[in-house]
Amino acid sequence: MKQPEDLTRTQEGNFNINRREFAKVALGGAALLASSGRGSAKLPLIPAGIKIGTSARNPSEENMLYLRQLGVTWISSADITPETATVEGFTRMRQQWESGGFRVYNESGRIAPNGKAVINVPEIVLNLPGRDERIEDYLNYIRYLGKAGIPYMTYGFEGNGNWRSGTATTKRGYLASDCDLASPTFHGGWNGTVYKEPLSHGRVFSREEIWDNFAYFMKKVVPVAEDSGVKIGIHPDDPPKPMLAGVPRLFTSFDGYKRAMEIANSPNVGVCLCVGSWLEGGSKMGADPVEVIKYFGAKKKLLKIHFRNVTAPLPHFTETLMDDGYYDMYKVMEALVAINFDGLVIPDHVPELGTPAGPTQAVPHDAAGQFHPSPGLAYSLGYLNATLKAVMSDRSRA
């Protein structure tokens, strides 16, 4: 991430920094329904197999050509504004990408027509005044996705957002998001709000309070998700520290996810495994990423993968390129292939490459509309593709 203000933008996996959201291509085979559940919504057929995709915006001819050159087929789209966060807006966005030969897996802006975020909502997580109104915002968002033919969304259940301490320059010389629990600049943010220790909301909340609030939320969400045919992947807390500024964080462990899946008890609620966030927790997560993939994959609860690496677990980590962190990302891809994963895999929080003034935009157009090919995007997609091919090659020789 960049500096504190960047923490509050919207992101797909769960760090909302548009410049770092991207990835690429799709592999697929026989068709099967993406999101069935008990609902009757008719959503597009999604092919089997690992789909390597990108978070992107602005389906202009120039942008789409650039993504096609990188081998991209599947899109996690960030094109929605409050004015277009409607059935018509979602449908138009999907059709624009499809006109260029792409498929939309999910919409990653996750914002309501009133301009408020529909994930990481303090009113919902902490049972603050206005909770039911904010839940209704989210239920409408799910309904709109289903009617627009978009089969998936990522959900975050954090009461005070994602936390970072700024940026750092790695040994290889690129700039990346940094998280140091001991730093005086350590703080959280989401949707324009900044959170700081010691108490972000005036008091200490109990863990059971937050679990009760999650159960209340799921009771309302599950019927709508199933009726709409939309699947929901819950993202790990980032960073996965069990409590920050008086607010417990539920998705900081393997056991937390198991409990959440039991509460939801729905084929439409599963896991968005951000490997980077999981690695941030290290052994305190209670399971290795490969174990998580195998466990939830066997239960058909693994819905999306954010492919990311970090230098070390908490209390201090820096985000890295995929081959530059402490974990062997080959093992992640190997596990996904082994379970016949059918969801989307995207690079996540890709660090900046090149000189500070150089053309390093993750999204091919900058704020002024200038087109900028991204070396970080090309590097990440190349690594992700090569890893998948290496795994497939090794399996064929075994």
Among 29, 62, 33, CA closest to 46: 33
| Higher-scoring residue by pLDDT: 62, 365 | 62
The 10s digit of each residue's pLDDT in 246-261 is: 999 999 999 999 999 9
Q: Average the pLDDT over 210-225 and give the result.
A: 98
DSSP type of residue 273? E
- Topology of domain 4-397 in CATH is TIM Barrel (3.20.20)
Q: Average the pLDDT over 202-228 and give the result.
A: 98
Spatial distance between the Cα atoms of 126 and 154, rounded to a whole number of angstroms: 20
The residue count of the chain comes to: 398
Structure tokens given for 280 = 């941030």
3-state DSSP call for residue 271? strand
Is the CB of residue 327 less than 8 Å from the CB of residue 309? yes
pLDDT (0 to 100) of residue 299? 96
Going by DSSP bridges, is the β-strand pair 302-307/269-274 parallel, antiparallel, or unpaired? parallel
> Which positions ≥6 away from 286 have C-beta within 8 Å?
253, 254, 255
Q: Which helix (H) or strand (E) holds 94?
A: helix 87-99
Q: Average the pLDDT over 21-25 and give the result.
A: 32
Is the CB of residue 34 less than 8 Å from the CB of residue 300? no
pLDDT (0 to 100) of residue 36? 36
Q: Is the peptide bond before 267 cis (omega within 30 degrees of 0)?
A: no
Q: Which helix (H) or strand (E) holds 62?
A: helix 61-69
Spatial distance between the Cα atoms of 176 and 378, rounded to a whole number of angstroms: 17
Is the CB of residue 357 less than 8 Å from the CB of residue 350? no
The 10s digit of each residue's pLDDT in 316-351 is: 999 999 999 999 999 999 999 999 999 999 999 988
132 φ, ψ (degrees, to nearest 5): -65, -35
Q: Spell out the SS3 assignment of 141-207.
A: HHHHHHHHCCCEEEECCCCCCEEECEEEECCCCCEEEEEECCCCCCEEEECCEEECCCCCCCCCCCH
Structure tokens given for 290 = 């490969």
DSSP per-residue codes, 316-347: EEEEE-TTSSSS-HHHHHHHHHHTT--SEEEE
pLDDT (0 to 100) of residue 45? 67
Is the CB of residue 372 less than 8 Å from the CB of residue 366? yes
pLDDT at 70 over 80: yes
In this prediction, residue 58 has a pLDDT band, given cuts at 50, 70 and 90, of confident
In this prediction, residue 355 has a pLDDT band, given cuts at 50, 70 and 90, of low
Spatial distance between the Cα atoms of 318 and 307, rounded to a whole number of angstroms: 15
Domain boundaries, the chain: 4-397
Structure tokens given for 328 = 């062997």
3-state DSSP call for residue 278? helix
pLDDT at 109 over 70: yes
pLDDT at 391 over 80: yes
Between 24-28, 361-365, 369-373, 392-396, the lowest mean confidence (pLDDT) is in 24-28
DSSP type of residue 351? P
Sheet holding 175-180, edge to edge: 166-169, 175-180, 316-320, 309-310
pLDDT at 33 over 50: no
3-state DSSP call for residue 91? helix
pLDDT (0 to 100) of residue 8? 32
Mean pLDDT of the residues in the chain: 86
Q: Is 195 exposed, middle or buried (0-12, 13-18, 19+ CB in 10 A)?
A: buried
pLDDT at 87 over 50: yes
Is the CB of residue 121 less than 8 Å from the CB of residue 90? no
CA distances from 44 to 32, 33, 93, 105, 181 (A): 9, 7, 15, 10, 44
Residue owning tokens 């709109």: 144
